[in-house]
Amino acid sequence: MATKKEGILPSGFRDVLPPQADYEAAVVARLMKHFQSAGYARVKPSLMEFETHHAVQTTGAAGGSDDNRLKLMDPVSNHLMLIRNDFTTQVARIARTSLAHHPRPLRLSYQGEALCAHGSVLNPARQYGQVGIERFGNDDANADIEVMILALEGLHALSIPEMTLDLNMPPLTQALFEHFEIAPDVAVPLRHALNSKDKTAIAQLSGKGAPTFQQLIEAAGDAEVSVTRLQSLSLPLPAKRPLEQFIETAERIIKSIKHASVVLDPLENHGFAYHSGVTFSYLTRVQGRELGRGGQYNASATTSSVQRLPTGTRRTSRAPQRLRSAGALDAEPAVGCSLFVDTLVDSCPLPIEKVL
């Protein structure tokens, strides 16, 4: 039995009481309605998966995601299974297997709870709600913009004030690392330095690439100014294409966006583990917090021949479930966006009647 010292619940967990529980449900329902009316069909992924299946769903510039998932031994199969800490990889698996036969673009939405093995000092919560959308099929700027704007309109419908859309481009960093032959043991501290805009450390770590990295850091900021600065840069050949793609998406976003200011920061890669194109996050000035994030990635099927879930769990989606052999489809481009329910609830100024 837990003693008083340990508290009632494990650290990072909490009960949500009335009326907050109702409010949270209303915020989630409002967003799901918004996504579904735009053609994003709801899926409900299994809470648990086998470890081997989860790991290979998504690939991208930085490779592998941070291993912050809770693992358990499945007493039925004697294999390690894990509880999701993110819906994106799960929805990608569904899109690549059960829904592989559906015409593209395939638009899916989801909501539910995810679990981390560890909280952080800044955010100790280990259980958190996600609401989101994933779009499978094209990797053009249209797909990015559709997802970014749809999620932003959802946030705007909740009257969340003073929002900023932050755009990043992880493949650009990857291309520059390869071009400048950054050694693997330097890559980790250099990424850390780039993410904290630490010019001193960048100069020490990046060798002959230093001026290029510095210029890109200097060019980051308010979108309209930043686009001009980025256009004037002359990058090494392998980095030219990612930068052009980034600028193209940024310019189109600046033209079509209504409810948020835009910031460009091509080298930042805050928690984008598997993304292969433009990534983005929504911030609100009032809370100084992140409302959600997303981006482009490659969704791939698993390496195993048959997709299996731990016994007793099942996947519910609108399409008839059918097991199919993976590998029939190669990786496909996808764009997704997850919004964080806790931050939304804290940032939404509306009374519950207005949310519904």
Partner 1 sequence: MILALPKGRILEDITSLLPRANIHPEDAFYDENSRQLRFTTNMPDVDIIRVRAFDVATFVAFGVAHLGIVGLDVLMEFDYPEIYVPLDLNVGRCRIVVAEPHTVARSDDPIHWSHVRVATKYPRLTQRHFVQRGVQVECIKLNGAVELATSLGLCERIVDLVSTGRTLKNNGLTEVEKIADVSSRLIINRAAWKTMPQAIAPLISQFEKATTAAKP
Q: How far is the CB of 190 from partner 1 (least distance, A)?
A: 14
Candidate list 14, 79, 270, 318; residue touching partner 1; CB under 8 A = 270
Candidate list 284, 296, 338, 343; residue touching partner 1; CB under 8 A = 284
Judge contact between 21 and 348, C-beta under 8 A: no
Instruction: Name the nearest CA neighbour of 280 among 112, 152, 193, 105.
Output: 152
Judge contact between 77 and 311, C-beta under 8 A: yes
Q: How far is the CB of 197 from partner 1 (least distance, A)?
A: 4
Q: Draw the binding track, 72-111, toward partner 1 (x: CB under 8 A; -: no contact).
A: ----------------------------------------
Judge contact between 155 and 339, C-beta under 8 A: yes
User: Can you tell me the distance from the alpha carbon of 153 to that of 131, in angstroms, rounded to the nearest whole number?
Assistant: 14
Helical segments of the chain, H only: 20-37, 51-54, 88-96, 141-157, 170-179, 184-195, 199-205, 210-219, 223-231, 237-256, 341-347, 352-355
Tell me: does residue 234 bind partner 1 (CB under 8 A): no
Candidate list 3, 37, 200, 234; residue touching partner 1; CB under 8 A = 200
Tell me: does residue 162 bind partner 1 (CB under 8 A): yes
- Nearer to partner 1 (CB atom), residue 127 or residue 164: 164
Candidate list 24, 134, 139, 265; residue touching partner 1; CB under 8 A = 265
What residues between 121 and 140 interact with partner 1 by CB under 8 A? 121-122
- Nearer to partner 1 (CB atom), residue 131 or residue 283: 283
Among 53-61, 233-241, 244-252, 257-265, which window interacts with partner 1 (CB under 8 A)?
257-265
User: Greatest CA separation found in the chain?
Assistant: 65
Q: How far is the CB of 86 from partner 1 (least distance, A)?
A: 17
Instruction: Say how many residues make up the chain.
Output: 356
Judge contact between 65 and 132, C-beta under 8 A: no
Tell me: does residue 263 bind partner 1 (CB under 8 A): yes
User: Can you tell me the distance from the alpha carbon of 31 to that of 111, in angstroms, rounded to the nearest whole number?
Assistant: 9
Candidate list 49, 134, 166, 332; residue touching partner 1; CB under 8 A = 166
* Cβ-proximal residues to 91 (8 Å cutoff; 6+ apart), any chain: 43, 45, 108, 110, 134, 336
Interaction site with partner 1 (CB under 8 A): 121-122, 162, 164, 166, 195-201, 217, 221-222, 261, 263, 265, 270-271, 283-285, 287-290
